[in-house]
Amino acid sequence: MTAAIEARGLTKRFGTTQALAGIDLTVGPGRVLGVLGPNGAGKTSAVRILATLLKPDAGTVTVAGFDVVTHPVDVRRRIGLTGQYASVDEDLRGVENLVMIGRLLGLSRSDAKARAAELLEEFELTDAGGRLAKTYSGGMRRRLDLAASLIGRPSVVFLDEPTTGLDPAKRDDVWEMIRTLVRQGTTVLLTTQYLEEADALANEITVIDHGLVIAHDTPEGLKRQVGGQTLEVRPADDRDLDRVTALLASVGTRAPEFPAPSLVSVPVAGADALTATVARLHAENIAVTELSLRLPSLDEVFYSLTGHTPAVPSATGLVTEGAAS
């Protein structure tokens, strides 16, 4: 079976910025690829090329079996795109947005209305469907946007940072919706800045930075490479810091670090370390105000993979690349 998405040697330059410097991406049919990268890595540029919105400078891309440059219309018939910034029409009602897209996809007025109602229901927007999109919260806009990209029942779906800006409950809803899509056989390429999200959804993860692939692995493989999970403990009393540090040193795979005052963190191999830590804290009578086990942050992933943290972009996101690294 051929790949649903196949990109080879993709490059794209904007003026003096090399957004993509030759990346390869492969996603098998019905699989989920997570593209992980910091701000300015080239995620959006890659998605826009795959979704036929942008032409690559070099490289070849096929999506659903069609070349995106020579057969863009065949590709557009088979894809759904949810861009990084919601592409809903603010002056239209939620339902009008969906009906318009449905009709542009060739549905009759009544079919488009039925499909819109179905999707509004699925995304819990039925009550808000009659309101103008400009009155929607950020999360509602996102969901409406996701719904719009699914109207044509696409076989390949691109999601550019689909949960950025959602509260945890809504994020879980979007995750669940993505899992449902995958169960129905849809191929998904999603970009994210969170290893946790890629881990929760993807079969494989490609890490990109400065327009280059710096790692490609299964979530398990990647976690192994970057040192699994991180255990963090904050003692209630600062005088216990030394004892906590000693305790974590014995369960961790590396020396403990202090990401914040009176917070001790250490990479651990598995969840067993958590149980052991809880038991020993109890035995030694140390009270804690915070105890958590989490996946490494993007910064930590980058540190493990490249030995440096990603360049910090300015607040506007307008970073001039090239000077970095």
Partner 1 sequence: MIVRDSLILAQRTVTKMVRNPEQFLDVSVQPIVMTVIFVFIFGGAIAGTSQDYLQFALPGIIVQTIMTTAMTIGVNLNSDLKNGVFDRFRSLPIARSAPLMGAVTGDVVRHSIAIGVTLAFGAAIGFRFLTPWYSVVTAIVLMIVFAMSLCWTSVFIGMLARSSGAVQGLSFLIVFPLTFGSSAFVPAATMPGWLQGWVAINPVTHVTDAMRGLLVGNSIMTPGTSVGGEVLWVLLSCVVLVGVFFPLAMRAYRTKL
Ligand X SMILES: Nc1ncnc2c1ncn2[C@@H]1O[C@H](COP(=O)(O)OP(=O)(O)OP(=O)(O)O)[C@@H](O)[C@H]1O
Q: At what angle do helices 241-251 and 272-283 cross, to 10 degrees?
A: 150
Q: Decide: residue 35, CB within 10 A, 0-12 exposed, 13-18 middle, 19+ buried.
A: buried
Q: How far is the CB of 86 from Mg ion (least distance, A)?
A: 13
Nearer to ligand X, 208 or 266 (CB): 208
For residue 59, give the DSSP letter: E
The verdict on 52 binding partner 1 (CB under 8 A) reads yes
Q: Taking CB under 8 A as the rule, does residue 68 contact partner 1?
A: no
Please, which residues have CB within 8 angstroms of residue 162's CB and are 6 or more apart in sequence? 82, 142, 146, 174, 178, 190, 192
- Of 84-92, 263-271, 273-281, 303-311: span binding partner 1 (CB under 8 A): 84-92
Count CB atoms within 10 A of the CB of residue 259.
11
Q: Which residue from 5, 7, 10, 19 is in contact with ligand X, where contact means CB under 6 A?
A: 19
* 86: contact with partner 1 by CB under 8 A: yes
**Residue 317: contacted member of Mg ion, ligand X, partner 1, none (CB under 5 to 8 Å, by partner type):** ligand X
304 contact, one of ligand X, partner 1, Mg ion, none, CB 5-8 Å limit per kind: none
CA distances from 276 to 214, 240, 281, 282, 284 (A): 34, 18, 9, 10, 12
Please name the residues in contact with 50: beta carbons below 8 A apart, sequence gap of 6 or more: 5, 7, 25, 61, 63, 68, 158, 189
Query: Binding of Mg ion at residue 149 (CB under 5 A)?
Result: no
Q: Which of the ranges 76-84, 113-121, 234-242, 311-319 carries the binding residues for partner 1, by CB under 8 A?
A: 76-84
Give the tokens for residue 132.
Answer: 């103008």
Helix (H) or strand (E) holding 187: strand 187-192
Selected range binding ligand X among 32-40, 67-75, 128-136, 231-239, rule: CB under 6 A = 32-40
Q: Counting contacts by CB under 6 A, is residue 84 touching ligand X?
A: yes
At CA 202, angle to CA 35 and CA 180, rounded to 5?
125
Stretch of residues binding ligand X (CB under 6 A), selected from 23-31, 36-44, 217-225, 291-299:
36-44
The reply on whether position 17 binds ligand X by CB under 6 A is: yes
The stretch near partner 1 (CB under 8 A) out of 70-78, 200-208, 224-232, 280-288 is: 70-78
Q: By CB under 8 A, tell whether 105 contacts partner 1.
A: yes
| CB burial of residue 185 (10 Å; 0-12, 13-18, 19+) | exposed
Residues near partner 1 (CB under 8 A), total: 28
Residues in 19-48 at the binding interface with Mg ion, rule: CB under 5 A: 43-44
Q: What angle do CA 299, 39, 297 make, to 5 degrees?
A: 20
- What's the Cα-to-Cα distance from 317 to each of 40, 312, 314, rounded to whole Å? 8, 9, 5
Work out how close the CB of 43 gets to Mg ion at its nearest, in angstroms, rounded to a whole number.
5
Q: 52 or 187, CB closer to partner 1?
A: 52
Q: Which residues bind ligand X (CB under 6 A)?
A: 14-15, 17, 19, 37, 39-45, 84, 317, 319, 321
